[in-house]
Amino acid sequence: MMDVAAQAGVSQTTVSLVLNDAMGARLSHETRHRVLAAAKELGYRLIRRGPSRTSATSTGAIGFMADEFSTDPWCALALDGVREKAWEFGLTVSVAVTRGDAGMEQAAHAQFLNQPLLGLIYATIQTRRIEPTPALARLPVVLLNCYAADRSLPSIAPGEVLGGRMATKRLIQAGHTRIGLIEGETWMDAMRDRLKGYRQALASHEIPFDPHLVRPGNWEPSAGYAQTHELMKLRQPPTAIFCANDLMALGCFEALKELGKRIPEDVAVIGYDDREIAQFMRPPLTTMLLPHFEMGTLAVEYIIDHARRPEKRPAQIKVECPLVERASVQKMAAQ
């Protein structure tokens, strides 16, 4: 699948969606054609195993351990992807949530080791670096939304730099050069990478970086509201605002409406995450999709394809964050 992805110029997730003929995948006819043509040229054939005719539990299971499950939807979305893909292979999923408690994690590891697991998916709710414990080395493991500092374990994470670049590029393509950015907490990997992508997009279009257009936030609507007011007080206010998540975009919308600004006619807004609320904002929010469902399916594929054939260099996979077009960005009117 990686070879097909490289030849077709797409992600491994896209290859999986095309070859599995996934329902609801937002892929163009041209992209599907490129993937199918590359697979044919390389002689790759997808083996459709399907659910086992015998009891699924008799064929084994995959472990899924998460540090948190209820504060945000990301681990739940990843688990949905894990469960669906695992069942295609006749596998069930055994789940443990540790809430960051070292003792609970140790107990969960011990429980997993007593089961006939094909492998373990170790997930975190925030994209971050982890220090692998010795227990992780006792099972074939894939890190999900996290990574080891020495890259000694395979990992799957969102392509946040590319996501930040694509969000900013969408605003540039609409004709904007004064683009504000309302950040999340900058100690987080996700925010550092989204900022990096923002700066890369500006640089590649020869738009100077203006630090006054970058405002501190905290992922909450209140930050989007307050920092939008600060951005619009500038002598040259932005004509577009990139909010680093959808909740801050919600606050941004309220501030712009309070100031009498129309979205997107006066100020375009793009968000990030594609939370459910994004489609119900008025106008509906253009945003970037966090691909946790696809990450979960890839983690299962990796365990099945690679756990019993260890590689010298464990794969470090970045999954692209697709643009979700709605109505909060439009081409600027000629000045």
Map tokens 């900058």 to a residue.
186
Give pTM, 2 decimals: 0.81
What's the rounded Cα separation, in Å, for the pair 226 and 258? 12
State mean pLDDT over 161-182: 98
- In percent, the amount of the chain with pLDDT more than 90 equals 67
pLDDT class of 335 with cuts at 50, 70, 90: low
Token readout for 27 is 């892929």
Full DSSP string of 164-193: HHHHHHHHHHTT---EEEE---TTSHHHHH
Segment 156-172 shows an average pLDDT of 98
Question: Percentage helix, strand, coil, to 5, in the chain?
Answer: 45, 20, 40
Complete domains list, the chain, with CATH: 2-42 (no CATH), 56-159+293-321 (3.40.50.2300), 160-289 (3.40.50.2300)
Structure confidence by residue, pLDDT tens digits, 255-290: 999 999 999 999 999 999 999 999 999 999 999 999
User: Per residue in 226-239, is it b (16+ CB within 10 Å) or e — as a string?
Assistant: bbbbebbeeeebbb
Nearest to 244 by CA among 279, 206, 192, 292: 192
CA gap 33, 18 in Å, rounded: 9
Question: What is the maximum alpha-carbon separation in the chain?
Answer: 69
**Would you place residue 57 in the very low, low, confident or very high pLDDT band (cuts 50, 70, 90)?**
very low
pLDDT for 134 beyond 80: yes
